[in-house]
Amino acid sequence: MSDPSLIPDFDYFPPDTPLQFLHEDAQILVLDKPAGLLTVPGKLEGRQDSLITRLQAARWDALVVHRLDCDTSGAIIFARTKQAQGFLGQEFEQRRARKTYIARLHGQLAKDSGTVDLPLGSDWEYRPRQKVTPDGRAAQTDWQVMLRSATETRVRLTPHTGRSHQLRVHMLALGHPIVGDQIYAPETSRQYPRLMLHAETLSLHHPATGDRVSFTAPVPF
């Protein structure tokens, strides 16, 4: 279980912000999801407000393709037909979809770039946490330093797999957790208004034309 909406003491106060469309056509809808909003409704009471419910109120035919963590912002794509949904699902399943994220990490990374190749699985004792475990599922993340300050490192992250909490756990494994993370770096969450993780770009093949298309969500921090 990695969905925070399933945690009884998870405080859910979704932002009251309008939908931010990055692209719209007859097959797909691409939005910039705000931090703090679930992609799909939670199963517990009081967690029905979500990006898909808001979107379907404006575009009745919107269908879920993939998700972003509640606390993560950025580019996310929805389908408008069952055929497009199946096509886009294969883009992610076959790893043809490419995503980059921007994150602010605690401390200074010594190197300028690298790859984290560590398998991940559920930390059943401390759900919804994930952890590095030898019997977990393979997970790879490339990272590149963009900027360093006295206390932080801004990085661009490129995941090659889509495991739950992958970027958050891989950065923690480097010894530099993403700041503002209430689960993996709670000591920093009081200093930041949100998890400093944003899905900056999404690139995949368009279900109608087969051409590769790319979308960018402006980084809010």
144: β partners: 113, 156
Pinpoint the alpha helices (H) of the chain.
51-58, 82-93, 166-173, 186-189
DSSP label at residue 35: T
Q: Give the max Cα distance, the chain.
A: 49
> What pairing do the DSSP bridges indicate for beta strands 63-64 and 152-159?
unpaired
Give the integer Cα–Cα distance in Å for 96 and 155: 23
- The active-site residue out of 9, 25, 32, 69 is 69
69 in catalytic set: yes
Q: How far apart are CA 168 and CA 166, in angstroms?
A: 6
Coil vs helix vs strand at 53: helix
Q: What are phi and psi of 30, to 5 degrees?
A: -120, 125
Catalytic (active-site) positions: 69
